[in-house]
Amino acid sequence: MIPLDPRITIKLLEGYENTLDKMVQEREQFYNSQSCPYCKGQAFVKTADIRRMFSNEDPLPRFQLRCLNCTCIWDPFTGMIEKLGNLALAFEPAFPMIDGEDK
């Protein structure tokens, strides 16, 4: 594969509107407005499932989200939980855990 010269690429794209940037910004705002359906956490990372990542109707990839608090994985577009999280990881216990002797 030989990459196309950037100057040629710029000339070929002249006169066309960039419609993807606005769609990407809207998609990122959508992801950032989500919260974990299991523990209501606001910290998550995007994960990719190649079986559902691309569709004919949507030019952008669709990611699932994994909660950093409880490790729950859900699809923000359908609301389906794909892997139930562990609430014990999400909350600090009311009583401190005793690991052994204090040093």
| pLDDT tens for each residue of 37-49 | 988 889 999 998 8
Who has greater pLDDT, 23 or 86? 23
pTM exceeds 0.75 for this model? no
Q: At residue 10, what are phi and psi to the nearest 5 degrees?
A: -60, -40
Please tell me the predicted confidence (pLDDT) of residue 85: 78
Who has greater pLDDT, 39 or 97? 39
The secondary structure of the chain in percent helix, strand, coil, rounded to multiples of 5, reads 25, 15, 65
Q: At residue 58, what are phi and psi to the nearest 5 degrees?
A: -120, 120
Q: Which residue, 72, 1, 75, 3, is CA-closest to 41?
A: 72
What is the chain's mean pLDDT, rounded? 86
pLDDT tens track for 62-84: 999 999 888 899 999 998 999 88
Residues 6+ apart with CB under 8 A from 30: 76
What are the boundaries of each domain within the chain?
Answer: 31-90
User: If pLDDT is split at 50, 70 and 90, which confidence band does 35 have?
Assistant: very high
User: If pLDDT is split at 50, 70 and 90, which confidence band does 93 have?
Assistant: low
Please tell me the predicted confidence (pLDDT) of residue 29: 96
* DSSP string across 53-66: S--SS-SS---EEE
Could you give the dihedral angle defined by the CA atoms of residues 55, 61, 64 and 67, in that order, rounded to the nearest 10 degrees? Answer: -170
Do strands 73-74 and 64-67 pair parallel, antiparallel, or not at all (unpaired)?
A: antiparallel
